[in-house]
Amino acid sequence: MAKILVTGGLGFIGSHTTVELQQNGYEVVVVDNLSNSDEKVVSRITSITGKEPLFEKVDLRHREEVRALLARHRDMDGLIHFAAYKAVGESVEKPLEYYENNIWALVCLLQEMRNQGLNNFIFSSSCTVYGQAKELPITEHSPVVPANSPYGNTKQVGEEVLQQAVSAHGLNVISLRYFNPVGAHPTAKIGELPLGVPLNLVPFVTQTAAGIRKQLSVFGDDYDTPDGTCIRDYIHVVDLAKAHVVAVKRLLDKKNSQPYEVFNLGTGKGSSVLEVIRSFERVSGEKLNCKIVERRPGDVTAAYADTTKANDVLGWKAEKSLDDAMADAWRWEKAVRGL
């Protein structure tokens, strides 16, 4: 049984990926510092898969902890690195914390992996590296543009660090550029758990329907899109998790064509904010209290993936629809709130 370390394995995408890895016969070690997650997620994962993943509480910013972790698991076959901060606004207020957690920890991890002779690495990147792309849908050849936040920059710099480290140190790396991950596990046992007021659209939608938020603000309806609201590529988190299983297998089977590869992970379909709201209302039967407000600074008009490379090279395709994602997100919100 191949053994995979999943950093940030109790977070939103990490927990779903742990489930998919276990269900595909991998042994998973979950690494998390619990800074934005709950240890109870370990038992929730276990209740879905029937297998308890080993949990390692480790803070990747502390080199000694990383060294000891990798020494304990020098028999691992690969590592998927989700652990990172991800709030755009917060990153503007705390840029140094973002560089420490997202870049310094990455460097520690890579150095200690190199020292142990470990070389299969999957990186969580983001479509944010493309900014407002000139051409849609966005292919992997679309230029990476200067980031408009420290968070976005940590993803770009992280990719550069990896790209330069592969040739020097014999690493094999796949960077996965996620579009907008949404939804939850269909069992409603794991999902997104935003702290405080959600910043992303879908958790705000489900919390509004659950009565926790009074009103959903739609950030601008004067964009150059068919209904005037921004367009994004919302991908179900279970589809996204499955792509990681395929990417891990590619590295383990030595099927990667270059030591550093990049793939866009999206559905290929753009949906506007109003389409997301309508999808949610349709599948939940709830009516959302919405108000059109000012644009949110920093938002791009439209971003959706060209998924040809992931489809053809990885042999992976998103299977779930926006309605599936909304239904699962709602089931999860109701489970969390005891509704």
Which residues are identified as catalytic?
151
- Contact of 89 with 199, CB cutoff 8 Å: yes
According to the 3-state scheme, what is the secondary structure of 283-322? HHCCCCCEEEECCCCCCCCECCECCHHHHHHHCCCCCCCH
Q: Show the site string, 220-259: x = touches ligand UD1 by CB under 6 A, - = not.
A: ----------x-x---------------------------
- Choice between 71 and 197, CB closer to ligand UD1: 197
Using CB under 6 A as the binding rule, whether residue 299 contacts ligand UD1 is answered as yes
Binding ligand UD1 (rule: CB under 6 A), the pick from 120, 126, 264, 279 is 126
Residues 6+ apart with CB under 8 A from 37: 8, 10, 11, 15, 193
String of contacts with ligand UD1 for each residue 257-276, x by CB under 6 A: ----------------x---
Task: Choose the binding region for ligand UD1 from 21-29, 70-78, 162-170, 216-224 (rule: CB under 6 A).
Answer: 216-224
Instruction: Say whether residue 13 binds ligand UD1 (CB under 6 A).
Output: no
Q: Which residues contact 285 (CB under 8 A, 6 or more apart)?
A: none
Task: Please name the residue ranges forming H helices in 94-144.
Answer: 95-99, 105-116
Which one among 132, 298, 315, 319 touches ligand UD1, defined by CB under 6 A? 298
Both tokens of 212, joined, read 């926790």
Residue pair 114/282 in contact by the 8 Å Cβ criterion = no
Out of 23, 156, 163, 217, name the contact with ligand UD1 by CB under 6 A: 217
Residues 6+ apart with CB under 8 A from 235: 178, 179, 180, 181, 182, 265, 266, 267, 318, 325
Is the dihedral angle over the CA atoms 133, 218, 147, 312 positive or is it negative?
negative
The residue nearest ligand UD1 at its CB is 230
Q: Which two tokens stand for residue 142?
A: 């679309």
Interface residue with ligand UD1, options 138, 218, 238, 325 (CB under 6 A): 218
Q: Answer yes or no whether residue 138 interacts with ligand UD1 by CB under 6 A.
A: no
Q: Which residue, chain included where needed, has tokens 């758990």? A: 193
CB of 167 to ligand UD1, least distance (A): 28
Contact residue for ligand UD1 among 73, 81, 86, 185 (CB under 6 A):
86
Residue 69 beta carbon to ligand UD1: minimum distance, rounded to whole angstroms: 27
Residues 148-187 that bind ligand UD1 (CB under 6 A): 152, 180
Query: How far is residue 142 from each of residues 77, 95, 145, measured CA to CA in Å?
Result: 32, 26, 9
CB 54 within 8 A of CB 62: no
Residue ranges in 187-206 that form contacts with ligand UD1 under rule CB under 6 A: 199-201, 204
Nearest approach, Cβ of residue 199 and ligand UD1 (Å)? 6
| Contact footprint for ligand UD1 (CB under 6 A) | 86, 88, 126, 128, 152, 180, 199-201, 204, 216-219, 230, 232, 273, 296, 298-299
